[in-house]
Amino acid sequence: MSPLTLLPFIVLIGAMFLMTRSAKKKQQQAADMRNQMQPGSGIRTIGGMYATVKEVSDDTVLLDAGPGVELLFAKNAIGAVLTDDEYNRIVHGIEHDLKSDSDVVPDDASSLTDPADADESADEAAAASDDKSVDLGKKGAPDEDAVQADEPEAQQAEADEEPKKTDGDSDAKK
Residue 165 DSSP label: P
Q: Tell me how far apart the alpha carbons of residues 17 and 23 are, in angstroms, rounded to a whole number.
A: 10
pLDDT at 2: 80
Strand order in the sheet with 60-66: 69-74, 60-66, 50-56, 42-45, 78-82
Distance of alpha carbon 123 from alpha carbon 76, whole angstroms: 63
pLDDT at 105: 65
* Residues 78 and 34 sit within 8 Å (Cβ to Cβ): yes
Contact of 150 with 137, CB cutoff 8 Å: no
Question: For position 94, what pLDDT does the model report?
Answer: 78
Residue 71 has φ and ψ, to the nearest 5°, of -125, 140
Q: Can you give the pLDDT at residue 87?
A: 87
Number of alpha carbons in the 13 Å side-chain half-sphere of residue 32: 6
Phi, psi of 123 (to 5 degrees): -65, -40
Instruction: Measure the CA–CA gap between 132 and 18, rounded to whole angstroms.
Output: 80
pLDDT averages per 10-residue partition of the chain, 174 residues = 84 90 87 86 91 91 90 90 87 66 63 61 59 65 54 60 60 58
User: Using a CB cutoff of 8 Å and minimum separation of 24, what contacts does 142-148 make?
Assistant: none
pLDDT at 120: 60
